[in-house]
Structure 1
Amino acid sequence: MIVQIYTAQSAQEAIALVERGVDHVGLTPTTIGLPGQISETVAAEAVAALHGRGTSVALSVETDIQEIARMADAVRPDILHLCGEVGAVDVAAVRELRALLPAGMQVMQAIAVGAEGDLLLARAYAEVADFLILDSYTPDVQGVGAAGITHDWSRSAEIVATVDVPVILAGGLSAENVAAAIDAVRPWGVDSLTRTNRPLGEGRFEKDLDAVAAFVTAAASVPAR
Structure 2
Amino acid sequence: MKPAIRIKICGMKSTDDIKKASICGADAVGFIVDVPVDTPRKINIQKAAELIHSVPLFMDSVLVIMPDSGVQAVSMVETVRPDIVQIHGNINADDLEYMKNRLDIPIVKTCSVPVGNSESSSGVICEFENTINNLKNQGLLDAILLDSKTDTKSGGSGTVHNWEISKTIMNNVDIPVILAGGLNPDNVKEAVQTVFPYAVDVASGVETNNTKDIDKIHRFIHEARNA
Establish whether TM, by shorter chain, passes 0.5. Answer: yes
Which deviates more, 186-195 or 25-34? 25-34
Q: Distance in 1 between matches of 2:151 and 2:22?
A: 31
Alignment-mate amino acid for residue 99 of structure 2:
L
**TM-score calculated relative to the size of structure 1:** 0.86
2:118: which partner in 1?
none
* In 1: Cα distance, 2:225 partner to 2:191 partner: 12
SS at match of 2:110: strand
Question: How many Å separate the matches in 1 of 2:220 and 2:136?
Answer: 27
Give the distance between the partners of 1:52 and 1:178, measured in 2 at CA. 26
SS in 1 for 2:149: coil
The 8 Å contact of residues 111 and 122 in structure 1, kept in 2 or not, is answered as: no
Q: Does 1:92 align with 2:99?
A: no
Within 5 Å, which residues of 2 pair with 1:44-193?
44-84=49-89, 88-101=90-103, 104-114=104-114, 116=124, 117-127=127-137, 128-141=140-153, 144-193=154-203
Separation of aligned partners in 2, 1:82 and 1:136:
15
Distance 1:31 1:3 in 2: 22
Q: 1:107 to 1:34 in 2, by over 3 A?
A: farther
Q: CA deviation at 1:139?
A: 4.5
- Is this contact kept in 1: 2:35–2:66, CA < 8 A? no
Q: Counterpart of 1:202?
A: none
Letter of the structure 2 residue corresponding to residue 165 of structure 1 = I
* Structure 1 equivalent of residue 31 of structure 2: 27
Question: 5+ unaligned residues in a row in structure 2: which ranges?
Answer: 115-120
Aligned-residue RMSD, C-alpha:
1.7
Asked if 1:211 is matched to 2:216, the reply is yes
Go from structure 1 to structure 2 and tell me whether the alpha carbon gap of 1:125 and 1:11 turns closer, same or farther (over 3 Å shift): farther
Whole-angstrom distance in 1 between the partners of 2:60 and 2:176 = 15
Alpha-carbon distance between aligned partners in 2 of 1:23 and 1:118, rounded to the nearest angstrom: 28
Higher deviation after alignment, 171-180 or 46-55: 46-55
Name stretches of at least 5 consecutive residues in structure 1 with no aligned partner: 200-204
Runs of 4+ off more than 6 Å = none
Name the TM-score, length of structure 2 as normaliser. 0.86
156 and 31 in structure 1: CA distance in 2 versus 1, 3 angstrom threshold = closer
- Cα separation, 2, equivalents of 1:124 and 1:147: 28
1:43 aligns with 2:65: no
Most deviating of 75-84 and 123-132: 123-132
SS in 2 for 1:136: strand
SS of the counterpart of 1:113? strand
Q: Quote the sequence identity (%).
A: 26
Partner-residue secondary structure (3-state), 2:62: strand
After superposition, the C-alpha distances for 1:168-199 in whole angstroms (9 at most, x for unaligned) are 10010111111111111110111111211222
Check the 8 A contact 1:11/1:45 in 2, yes or no.
no
